Structure 1
Amino acid sequence: MSVIVTVEAGRRRPVPAPAPAPAPVAVPLVGRLATWAHRRPADTAYTFVDFAADPEGVPRDLSWGELHRRATVLAGRLRRVAAQGDRVAVLAPSGPEYVVALFACWYAGTVAVPLFPPDLPRHGERLASSYVDCAPRCVVTTSAAADRVKEFIEARPGRPALILADDDGAAAEPFTRSAASRDDVAYLQYTSGSTRTPAGVVISYGNLAANVRQLWTAFAEGRGAVTAVNWLPLFHDMGLLATVAVPLLHGTRSVFFDPVAFLMRPERWLRLLSTAGTAYTAAPNFAYDYCVRRIAPAARAGFDLSRVFVWLNGAEPVRAGTVAAFADAFAGSGVDRSAICAAYGLAEATVFVAGDPPERPPTVTRFDRVALAAGTARVARDGAATSELVSCGRPVGQRVAIVDPDRRVRLPDGEVGEIWVYGANTARRYWRQPELTAEVFGAMLTGSGGLPIGPWMRTGDLGVVYEGELYITGRRRDLIIVAGRNHYPQDIEATAAAAAPQVADGHVVAFAVSHFGAPDGAVEKAVVVAERARSAPPGDHGPDEAARDVRAAVWAAHDLALHDVLLIEPGGLPRTSSGKLTRNLARERYLAGGFPTRPAR
């Protein structure tokens, strides 16, 4: 059966009436599941398209009524082994059972910890550290993953109960849920690990409800019935919000599938969007670049993307070149350039902070690179070195301030500083990390200039407000400072990618390392690690020549001498669970000698 026909038509199969009791009491946003289950029990809520079962995709539908019933049953089983406020780790693959597990945790009054099974490649260390940190009382998984999860649990401290989310034959267990306030903890969102060891962001029901409304207001207000189509993992902040939480607000439909299925055949994403009607989607920048590179022009004619009203681009720096390439490549498929929306967010803000509105094409500004590195945003004159940045629009329902972090004063528009956020969507703490909590969530302004004194949430990101809109310039800890001059790594990466055909565009990281031996003990040196292009043009232009081209280009464009250049095999750079490159882990691997190649001199 073709997945296109099935998804387009939708299936409404009879489902048992929702269990009349015990019904969970009102919970901000989450309580809407019971509402939709009562009003529209047979309507499809979530559809998981299983490409592992069939390359064409097998849709597995979950109606509002069935989800409410299964979540209620599972919540009763959770309450037998976990008390209200205990952590429940979800170590399940993407699918309907994952959604059931999340709602069961919330129905039971426990704290959900969305994680992933132990067999996710290259993320074992992150899973282990997150699991040990949250110390779950219970683990929820599926029958298919149970053996691997049990082995993982037995190798770690503690002996949490193991419950299967797909055990539909289990009898319902009576339980009573006390009222949940907006300040009660809904889940722990563990950060991706791109900048530090995974830390559990404590997300309250109030944070979740506020951010969902902000997202809807920014991108979907007045749209009516819409469909979400996404492949991001449900343990990822953007995946959880876009796929699971936003549809709750107005009882809209969500279609999702596994990230591996996207990476294997990215056209699946666009095919599902073609048949979903009025739809929105969200993905990191690399996904749009991936579609341009991997989907042949001849195949693009088969898509009808004219009803996709938002292509949210976030979770990593948005590249102007990618935005233009995607819009041009799929213009014939109906992609509306105005629907491509650059956004900025982070787990500490639940996910969303600011976004470019879908009513206009993306705003791209060419800033003077030297002035920007010195802390001032100024449009570049002809012939000047430029940094091409995509506007992330304006914050919605929250405050954003550009701050001098040392003096803790708000900077005027046009000056680069650290981005601070204040709003009902911002979390208040990390799980069991009081010092980091005070540093990140306890920031206070000195002389607020009409803004709240605090507490503000420090993002660690650098940005500037220019003509009223937010531009992200980089991360404070990623700045490469050599001989007293600031260099943004993304600028160096773009130059390196264009320097030689052997370098894969978008697969380059630049970072600084401490080099000892100078008179003052240590200085910062710049390093570039790049993946080799899979389809480099023929010829004898080898890695040594490519490295020399990179060095020459970076010196000419940035007046920066690179300490080292490595050209490694495709797929060799470390990535987070959402697929974005991580400079921090690349730096650590470089210092440990972990890249499988010699330096290209």
Structure 2
Amino acid sequence: MALGSLLPELLPGGPGRTPLIERVARWAREKPDAPAYTFVDYSIDPSGAHVTLTWAETDRRARAMAVALRRAAGPGERAALLLPQTLEYMMAMLGAMHAHVIAVPLFSPDLPGHAERLIGAYTDAEPAVVVTTRGALPHVEKFLADHDVPQPKELVFADEVDVALAGRWEDDPVAFDDLAYLQYTSGSTRRPAGVEITHGNVTANAAQLWAGWAPEKPDPELVSWLPLFHDMGLISTMALPLVHGDHAIYTDPVSFIMNPMRWLRLISERPGKNVYTAGPNFAYEYVASQATAEKIAELELSGLTTCLNGAEPIRPSTLTTFADAFAAAGLRPGAQAPGYGLAEATVFVTAAAENVPPKVVSADRDALTQGELRLCEGGSERASALVSCGRPSGQIVAIVDPETRSELPDGQVGEIWVHGPNVAAGYWRNSERSQDTFGGELPDSGGLPSRPWMKTGDYGVVHEGELYVTGRIKDLIIVDGRNHYPQDIEVTVQEAHPAVRPDHVAAFALPGEETERLVVVAERNRRVPLGRLDVHEVETAVRGAINVQHEMSVHEFVLIEPGGVSRTSSGKIARAATRRRYLDGELATTAARLASRG
């Protein structure tokens, strides 16, 4: 049975049909001195230098940026954002949305680990203008000189735009169907593609996220460190506060990685507020691993209303670890809200209900791989733990048989399809892929909209009115006619031996003569000294565990050095990219490292 319904206010003629960007001016009129966006800069002050813009200042700066952009680019041309995550980044996004210039939220070229993604996205977008800062200019100039990428007509320095330009802006209302920005996917299975996000899409998804995640509560505030070039960071940090004119406090991802406790300290500093935050699974695992009794004693988290957990597979153990670690600091049992989303739906699709502890079910692995959710005892070796991602808000989710295009009943595994005003129209300059992804139709809709449906490429199942995501269709491993979800195998591998680094395992298939062959690539755990490491022992343990728990053999197991497993910009395991590097012989193996030591 399909989940969800459309929000009446977002339907034609509804009160929510005001483009989100126009609300900046509204809040500037109604609450000019209220804080809008605060950036916390740890690069100039280890304790965090807070720089805040009021709604009146945000309105003026965004309009000034719009004037600067319109001088450099015409309506419909692209502006690539190649600058650090500061207040200037936020103003560049808002200014582009005012100016009818299509923003391309990217990042400064000196950000490590993302060079290939930057080249691909920048080249695909063909920007007419690059927005950067004077400090980032050397990195931008080097990027443009070193790579075969389109050269922009002009550079706009976001930190040098004269605020007085705001007085020269002439209102040019945007339409719901106008493109607001290109959200480049993180590319876990293929090259990044630019999802065409319209003003209608971002307006709808912000309203949906608010309705499902942050319903009417006094003094709500958003605290985030998520990258603004990523869909979850952009919508939660930029768009969500625009719905009701609330306050967003954010820092940059590097500051979080260097000291994850900064995230929780920022939340702890908001007494008397209803604080919302979001992050991928690894972030909650990471911050819990760095917590000590002394650090926890300094926190006050009773005001933390919701922690949205999304953007990558959610592990039940992470939910437990985070809850246990910070219960003493006042973390509410129902604060954690697992969710599901993707760039093609702007970002937000479903989330668990507030004030309810996360739901986890144990599913029989064999039945699951045959397309059926059958509950079993949690301690069973045949059990797969699935986390509920809750219900949709303002959109409709259906589980569909991808072969017959028919809706499946509850308890049956199929492809997750999404319908709603937040679903993008297509991919930038890729009509064939757009039709394949966004052109889903239900021949026998049974009261549901017949089209258009967005095919997510994810397997899922509905149980007791909530969505459970089971895996990526393209990642499915089929050996001897049986389906295996790679994440189940990866959990088995990391639990097989302490020398395997947790959450840094990639399982994938290679073609064989009669059936697919399983290959497992795992990073070495730095906590296990090289001098005491026996690679053969690790391999034997992994092969044995997979044979017992999954009844399959491993074609090849490769233990590699830390940092070798590819990941997407949102932190997901990039199995396809790891597979390519494995086939190309690019992985630095631990065996080779040991051999070089003599």
Cα distance change, pair 538–433 in 1 and its aligned pair in 2 (3 A) = closer
Q: Work out the CA distance in 2 between the residues paired with 1:282 and 1:584.
A: 27
Once the two structures are superposed, what CA deviation does each residue of 1:381-429 show, in whole Å capped at 9, x if it has no partner? 4746100000011111111111111111111111101000000111111
8 Å CA contact 2:568, 2:574 repeated in 1: yes
Letter in 2 for 1:272: L
Letter in 2 for 1:388: A
**Which residues of 2 match residues 167-182 of structure 1 at below 5 A?**
167-169=160-162, 172=165, 174-182=168-176
Could you tell me which residue of structure 2 aligns to residue 572 of structure 1? 564
Question: Residue 205 of structure 1: CA displacement?
Answer: 0.8
8 Å CA contact 1:564, 1:599 repeated in 2: no
Question: Residue 329 of structure 1: CA displacement?
Answer: 1.2
**1:330 aligns to what SS in structure 2?**
helix
Letter in 2 for 1:158: Q
Question: Residue 267 of structure 1: CA displacement?
Answer: 0.5
8 Å CA contact 1:29, 1:205 repeated in 2: yes
**2:156 aligns to what SS in structure 1?**
strand
Q: Work out the CA distance in 2 between the residues paired with 1:384 and 1:551.
A: 16
Could you tell me which residue of structure 1 aligns to residue 393 of structure 2? 396
The answer as to 2:102 corresponding to 1:108 is no
The answer as to 2:483 corresponding to 1:486 is yes
Could you tell me which residue of structure 1 aligns to residue 286 of structure 2? 290
8 Å CA contact 1:311, 1:341 repeated in 2: yes
Question: Residue 578 of structure 1: CA displacement?
Answer: 2.5
Letter in 2 for 1:294: Q
Could you tell me which residue of structure 2 aligns to residue 436 of structure 1? 433
The answer as to 2:313 corresponding to 1:322 is no
Q: Work out the CA distance in 1 between the residues paired with 2:363 and 2:456.
A: 23
The answer as to 2:427 corresponding to 1:423 is no
8 Å CA contact 2:566, 2:577 repeated in 1: yes
Single out whichever of 542-551 and 261-270 deviates more from structure 2: 542-551
Match of 2:191 among 183, 192, 197: 197
Could you tell me which residue of structure 1 aligns to residue 88 of structure 2? 97
Q: Work out the CA distance in 1 between the residues paired with 2:144 and 2:154.
A: 10
Question: Residue 514 of structure 1: CA displacement?
Answer: 2.1
**Which residues of 2 match residues 307-386 of structure 1 at below 5 A?**
307-381=303-377, 383=380, 385-386=382-383
Q: Work out the CA distance in 2 between the residues paired with 1:569 and 1:300.
A: 32
Q: Work out the CA distance in 2 between the residues paired with 1:98 and 1:365.
A: 41
Could you tell me which residue of structure 2 aligns to residue 7 of structure 1? none
Cα distance change, pair 169–195 in 1 and its aligned pair in 2 (3 A) = same
Letter in 2 for 1:560: M
Q: Work out the CA distance in 2 between the residues paired with 1:541 and 1:126.
A: 35
The answer as to 2:543 corresponding to 1:551 is yes
8 Å CA contact 2:63, 2:169 repeated in 1: no
Q: Work out the CA distance in 1 between the residues paired with 2:577 and 2:174.
A: 39
Could you tell me which residue of structure 2 aligns to residue 508 of structure 1? 505
Could you tell me which residue of structure 2 aligns to residue 597 of structure 1? 589
Cα distance change, pair 68–590 in 1 and its aligned pair in 2 (3 A) = same
Question: Residue 539 of structure 1: CA displacement?
Answer: 8.2
Once the two structures are superposed, what CA deviation does each residue of 1:15-36 show, in whole Å capped at 9, x if it has no partner? xxxxxxxxxxx96011111111
Single out whichever of 37-46 and 211-220 deviates more from structure 2: 37-46
Question: Residue 579 of structure 1: CA displacement?
Answer: 2.6
Give the RMSD, CA atoms, in angstroms.
1.8
Could you tell me which residue of structure 2 aligns to residue 11 of structure 1? none
Once the two structures are superposed, what CA deviation does each residue of 1:269-307 show, in whole Å capped at 9, x if it has no partner? 011011123201000001111112222233212111111
**1:486 aligns to what SS in structure 2?**
strand
Q: Work out the CA distance in 1 between the residues paired with 2:309 and 2:495.
A: 23
**Which residues of 2 match residues 447-526 of structure 1 at below 5 A?**
447-515=444-512, 518=513, 523-526=515-518
Q: Work out the CA distance in 2 between the residues paired with 1:538 and 1:148.
A: 37
Q: Work out the CA distance in 1 between the residues paired with 2:567 and 2:153.
A: 30
Could you tell me which residue of structure 2 aligns to residue 157 of structure 1? 150
The answer as to 2:207 corresponding to 1:216 is no
8 Å CA contact 1:400, 1:420 repeated in 2: yes
8 Å CA contact 1:194, 1:583 repeated in 2: yes
Match of 1:121 among 100, 104, 112: 112
Question: Residue 538 of structure 1: CA displacement?
Answer: 9.5
8 Å CA contact 2:79, 2:127 repeated in 1: yes
Match of 1:134 among 125, 141, 150: 125
Question: Residue 537 of structure 1: CA displacement?
Answer: 7.7
Q: Work out the CA distance in 1 between the residues paired with 2:220 and 2:163.
A: 34
Structure 2: which 5+ residue stretches go unaligned?
1-16
**1:587 aligns to what SS in structure 2?**
helix
Could you tell me which residue of structure 2 aligns to residue 531 of structure 1? 523
8 Å CA contact 2:519, 2:555 repeated in 1: yes
Q: TM-score, normalised by structure 2?
A: 0.92
The answer as to 2:250 corresponding to 1:250 is no
Structure 1: which 5+ residue stretches go unaligned?
1-25
Q: Work out the CA distance in 2 between the residues paired with 1:169 and 1:179.
A: 23
Single out whichever of 245-254 and 298-307 deviates more from structure 2: 298-307
8 Å CA contact 2:221, 2:249 repeated in 1: yes
Q: Work out the CA distance in 1 between the residues paired with 2:591 and 2:458.
A: 31
8 Å CA contact 1:501, 1:537 repeated in 2: no
Could you tell me which residue of structure 2 aligns to residue 229 of structure 1? 223
Q: Work out the CA distance in 1 between the residues paired with 2:381 and 2:589.
A: 36
Single out whichever of 240-249 and 72-81 deviates more from structure 2: 72-81
Question: Residue 363 of structure 1: CA displacement?
Answer: 0.5
Cα distance change, pair 599–487 in 1 and its aligned pair in 2 (3 A) = farther
Q: Work out the CA distance in 1 between the residues paired with 2:443 and 2:550.
A: 35
Question: Residue 158 of structure 1: CA displacement?
Answer: 3.4
Could you tell me which residue of structure 1 aligns to residue 384 of structure 2? 387
Letter in 1 for 2:549: A
Once the two structures are superposed, what CA deviation does each residue of 1:507-531 show, in whole Å capped at 9, x if it has no partner? 212111224xx3x5xx311111112
Q: TM-score, normalised by structure 1?
A: 0.92
Single out whichever of 465-474 and 374-383 deviates more from structure 2: 374-383
8 Å CA contact 2:337, 2:352 repeated in 1: yes
8 Å CA contact 2:60, 2:163 repeated in 1: no
The size of the alignment, in residue pairs, is 571
Question: Residue 113 of structure 1: CA displacement?
Answer: 0.9
Single out whichever of 114-123 and 279-288 deviates more from structure 2: 114-123
8 Å CA contact 1:27, 1:205 repeated in 2: no
